Amino acid sequence: GPGILTRTLLNAGVRVVALESNSAFLPNLQSLENSLDGQLKVIYGDFFRLDPLVTGTVKPPAVCSDELFETVGVRAVPWSEGVPVKIFGILPQRKERSILWRLLFALYECSSIYRYGRVELNIFISEKEYKVLTAKPGDVRAYQALTVLWQVGCEIQLLHMEPWSSFVTNLKSRGLAVPKSRWLPNDHLCLVRLTPRQSLFTGGLKRTNSATFVFMVKQCLAKPRSRLTDRLNSWSLDSGGKLLRALEIPKNAETRSLYPEDYRRLFEALQNSSVFTEIWFHDEVLESIKNIHL
């Protein structure tokens, strides 16, 4: 990016580790690093190419999270403790949605950066994706599986909205344009704080079954106008109506009408169902894990 976040953090007196993916910019950054008496550390790398799914040696600017965190002195802490490190960045627009999904899978798996605890992300994302992350049930255009899973997993806080015009010069220099959005407003970049919930892995949701939860939500919202009872019946759950009554969910409820916490309650109830653990659903989960980062 244009260095806005780095300059702001340095001016605030924060110790900064800057990942720079363009080797042409490294000399000037390294010169700045040498003048700041330890406040800035510069590493050749790309945070959004963290932990690539490759075999063998990882070639820069791709980087492995364990090597990166060891280099900067970040140690893993229990999930119940505070935030071990805060990450700031601007999501590349062309890969924005896929990066949000990849980070989400890492969160629920406690893999990559989340092996170190509840890592806080402070990232600029497009306004349209911010609207998706914070959508409410029933919103036809914005309420999606991505919405439910991020809201269950993290506290989402809007820190700042900046017009695209502030970034347009830098975007043009990189051959990019302001992304278009047909259905959702997209006039700004939004600085959003994503802090993993301390209570995420409590109750029936655990690291070991979180992939099943992710898959369940994706399946339910693949057709957001479908009735939840129809989805439960497709999983061979003859007692779906009884389950919904116990959860005080209307039997004719559409999948897009459930709140994120309702999906969590539904999942936990299903985990306590002996029928659920024996149906084909789990085979589908295992198959989906093969493509979990796509």
- Same domain? For 38 and 98 the reply is no
56 annotated among ligand-binding-site residues: no
Question: Which CATH number fits the domain that encloses residue 252?
Answer: 1.10.8.100
1 annotated among ligand-binding-site residues: yes
Contact 116, 69 (CB under 8 A): yes
> What's residue 278's pLDDT?
47
51 annotated among ligand-binding-site residues: no
Kindly report, residue by residue over 139-170, the tens digit of the pLDDT: 988 999 999 999 999 999 999 999 988 876 55
- Same domain? For 96 and 183 the reply is yes
Which range of residues forms the domain containing residue 192? 79-169+177-201
> What's residue 176's pLDDT?
52
pTM here? 0.88
Specify the higher pLDDT residue, 212 or 286.
212
- Same domain? For 134 and 49 the reply is no
Helix axes 260-271, 145-153, angle to 10 degrees: 80
Contact 160, 190 (CB under 8 A): yes
How many structural domains does the chain have? 3
Contact 130, 95 (CB under 8 A): no
> What's residue 2's pLDDT?
64
Specify the higher pLDDT residue, 116 or 5.
116
Region 210-225: mean pLDDT is 91
> What's residue 286's pLDDT?
54
Mean pLDDT of the residues in the chain: 87
Q: Distance between CA atoms of 123 and 113, rounded to whole angstroms? A: 15
